[in-house]
Amino acid sequence: MLVSLHNFLATIFQCMPQPTLLTIDEDSNKLKRLQEENEALKQCLSESTKIESISDVNPGSTPHHPPIMDDFYIIAQESPLMENPKTLRSLIKNIGGGSSPILHRKSLSSAKKNGDDITSTKRPNTKGRVNSLSKGELVSKRSMSCDSRLTRKRDSSVDPAIERKTKDKIESSYILLSQEEYTEHKTSIIQCKSNASGSYVATGDADGIIKVWTPIPSPKTVATFTSTTLTSNKAVTSLDWISKNERYFLHGDNNGSIQLHDTRDCKTLWEIQHEGSRIVTLLCNPTDSTFVCSLSDPTEGKLLLYDLKTKKLERTLPMDGNVTALCSAFNHNGQLLITGLSNGNILIHDLRRNEIIDNLSCHSSPVIDIELINDYTNICAQSEEGKLCQRSLNQTGKVMWETKIKIEKNAVHGKLFTFDQSGTHMLLCTQNGGNIYKMPPGTQAKVLELGGHKGTLCCDWSTANQSGTCITGGAEGKARVSTLLSP
């Protein structure tokens, strides 16, 4: 009876599925194995790229070796091109023996009885001349080229300093994996913005049309919104996603209209109209349900704080003088607002106290784009004339670096530069497309040229895990999606 009970219980336990907690060792080993495989693949990719990147290293003098030939080479040379007995004897001498049975072939002996003229191979060089090269010289050059490649490989591994420097450069750079184009717009794309997860991209053009689409794996339209304004001047001047819900986004246009859109139901939820004004910027607070709106009208500029849920104006933020806010950025907790002005200054607002805590003189021309980097302790600002600089918030007046770039002159544009998550690399709009620079930007710091545009008017950089997606919009009506592998 006990034996039967034991067998019964043993059978039951064998058939029962293993509890989840008991598989923790197996799951951890599997995860560790996958991580090791991932590291090995990244190492292989770095090694394959490393050989190309050290092509400018001087391999030194290449020793001269005799031509490498064997019996198969002799078979290949059995043609009327080898008609000189002296040339044939030199080939036999280079083989170093005569032990090969191929040397006694009748075709070789018949080659001795032909004429004494040497038929050479004619090959035009890059300058259009025709050089006459004998077969022996061709073999020697082929051998020397092969030996040169082998010597370059061997010499490149001799110097560990060069190898380590090259490896560090590769590992700290982004690698371009693929590029796609989104071509649904008919006019210039002047706004582009990804939601927080990077799953959707919203792009707005000069005709007031907004497209919401998925960038990966291939661009595909999800929803289309059209401005209800009847006038012809209805360009999308600003666009931003709601921070706490990736389903909704705001947009403003040239006619003072602000609209909230629902991407799931493809409808407009509400609209706020400012007659006789132009919406310059819209920016959603990262922590609560408010947004900042900058207006421009013939008399003065205004900076307004709205509540998203109630559509009510909470307050008008103070401004110094008759200036217009052209760009804005929140800090991490949404309590400070940094604003670039039309007079070249930067205002810092404390939203809790509703007051200006600092007014910095940054550029001599209007500040058209601004962003906070390095743990929100530094400001990066771009002027209308193309000057780009970084200033410290902790040390007032201190300029970290400054440079000048050529930008596309356009009255309406989106973000002209942005950063990756680490803040060490910058995506910058240029006349020929987006460029990625290692900070600070400069000719020597250029990492990648994304290209694809005749005039770049907006950009966005969404980073997730080991890959990043860069979106650039151009004056020709195309958006380029560049997928990168993070360092």
Strand 446-452: give its sheet, edge to edge.
417-419, 425-430, 433-438, 446-452
DSSP conformational letter for 112? T
Verify cis geometry, omega within 30 degrees of 0, for the bond prior to 67: no
Distance, in Å, from the CA atom of 137 to the CA atom of 123, rounded to the nearest integer, reads: 13
178-485 belongs to which CATH class?
Answer: mainly beta
Sequence-separated (6 or more) residues with CB below 8 Å from residue 416: 368, 369, 382, 407, 428, 429, 458, 459
Backbone torsion region of residue 109, taken as left when φ is above 0, otherwise alpha when ψ lies between -120 and 50, otherwise beta: alpha
Distance, in Å, from the CA atom of 135 to the CA atom of 94, rounded to the nearest integer, reads: 14
β-pairing, 257-262 vs 248-253, is: antiparallel
Distance, in Å, from the CA atom of 251 to the CA atom of 227, rounded to the nearest integer, reads: 10
Q: Would you give per-residue pLDDT tens digits along the chain (487 residues)?
A: 777 888 888 888 778 776 766 677 777 888 888 888 888 888 887 776 554 433 443 444 444 445 545 444 444 454 444 444 444 445 444 444 444 444 444 444 444 444 444 343 444 443 343 344 444 444 444 444 444 444 444 444 445 544 444 444 445 578 999 999 999 999 999 999 999 888 999 999 999 999 999 998 899 999 999 877 666 678 999 999 998 888 999 999 999 999 999 999 999 999 999 988 999 999 999 999 999 999 998 778 899 999 999 999 999 999 877 899 999 999 989 999 999 999 999 999 999 999 999 898 889 899 999 999 877 889 999 999 889 999 988 887 788 899 888 777 777 899 999 999 888 899 999 888 999 998 887 766 888 999 889 889 999 999 766 678 999 999 999 999 999 988 7
Structure tokens at 130: 């025709």
The predicted structure's pLDDT at residue 49: 57
Domain ranges within the chain, ordered by starting residue: 69-95+104-114, 178-485
Backbone torsion region of residue 98, taken as left when φ is above 0, otherwise alpha when ψ lies between -120 and 50, otherwise beta: left
254 within 8 A of 244, measured Cβ to Cβ: no
The predicted structure's pLDDT at residue 450: 94
Instruction: Return the SS3 of 55.
Output: coil
Helices (H), 231-325: none
Distance, in Å, from the CA atom of 229 to the CA atom of 118, rounded to the nearest integer, reads: 84
The predicted structure's pLDDT at residue 121: 40
CA distances from 118 to 132, 135, 179 (A): 11, 10, 54
- 442-446-451 Cα angle (round to 5): 115
Q: Which of 296, 320, 292 is nearest to 308 (CA)?
A: 292
- What are the phi and psi torsion angles at 373 (to 5°)? -140, 175
Sequence-separated (6 or more) residues with CB below 8 Å from residue 95: 69, 70, 74, 103
Structure tokens at 101: 């049975």
Residues linked to residue 387 through DSSP beta bridges, in sequence order: 404
Residue 416, judged by CB atoms within 10 A of its CB (0-12, 13-18, 19+), counts as buried
Distance, in Å, from the CA atom of 173 to the CA atom of 438, rounded to the nearest integer, reads: 8
Residue 222, judged by CB atoms within 10 A of its CB (0-12, 13-18, 19+), counts as middle
Structure tokens at 421: 């998550």
The predicted structure's pLDDT at residue 445: 80
Instruction: Return the SS3 of 474.
Output: strand
